[in-house]
A = this chain, B = another copy of it.
Amino acid sequence: MSTEGATPTRREQILAAAAERFARVGFHGVGIDDIGKAVGVSGPALYRHFRSKDAMLAELLTGISDRLLHGGRERVGAASDPEEALHGLVRWHVDFALRNPSLITLHMRDLDSLPEPDRHRVRESQRSYVEVWVEALCRARPALEPATARATAHAVFGLINSTPFSAHLDEGQMAELLDHMAHGAIAAA
């Protein structure tokens, strides 16, 4: 979940608990006291670590979209040809979604609960991430028009992001299934 290997700090504990609950019940469905109870402190103690409940959501969402974007750029940068770049992107998104199902749910569902300044920032990252995909798609399949490539990217996201709703198979099988399906879908676009 987090990049820390050792015992997570309070902030991280709180963020993890908040993410899980936000993903399950939705941002507005979770109370401050719920989150507090989840980490063993009661209620308003969270305000020692975050300015507001919105700030927790903001940190989560900006974190997710930034990680997605940077990871995507890395994969494309490390690839030596367009086809490999596309495979890297698919693998990257699949891994991320499988490893962070609640973050993915959050990212899809609760962006509109975020107040304006941060929401814009997250939208920017999302847009950039989509553009990374669109460029990779167009390079790997020159027959694709950019508009179609954009719709294709969204559809592939939807396909991969379905993970939190299924999760019957074990992680390895699931990763391979989603990988294959994503490439099948792209090939058919």
Contacts and interface: CB of A to CB of B under 8 A. Distances in A.
A22 B60 CA distance: 23
B185 A169 contact: no
A162 B150 CA distance: 12
A14 to B, nearest CB: 21
Interface string A159-189: 1111001101100011001101111111111
Contacts of A152: 177, 181
Contact of A166 (B26, B155, B162, B168): B155
A154 interface: yes
A160 B29 CA distance: 27
Contacts of A181: 152, 155, 185-186, 188-189
What is the count of identical protomers in the complex?
Answer: 2
Interface residues of A, number: 43
Given A26-B113, A28-B26, A109-B109, A189 B165 contact: no
B168 A162 contact: no
A108 B104 CA distance: 13
Contacts of A185: 159, 181-182, 184-185, 188
A158 interface: yes
A78 interface: no
A105 to B, nearest CB: 9
Contact of A26 (B109, B162, B174): B109
A112 B155 contact: no
23 contacts: A26-B28, A26-B110, A26-B113, A109-B109, A147-B169, A150-B166, A151-B166, A151-B168, A154-B165, A155-B166, A155-B177, A155-B178, A156-B159, A158-B160, A158-B161, A158-B165, A177-B189, A181-B186, A181-B188, A181-B189, A184-B184, A184-B186, A184-B188
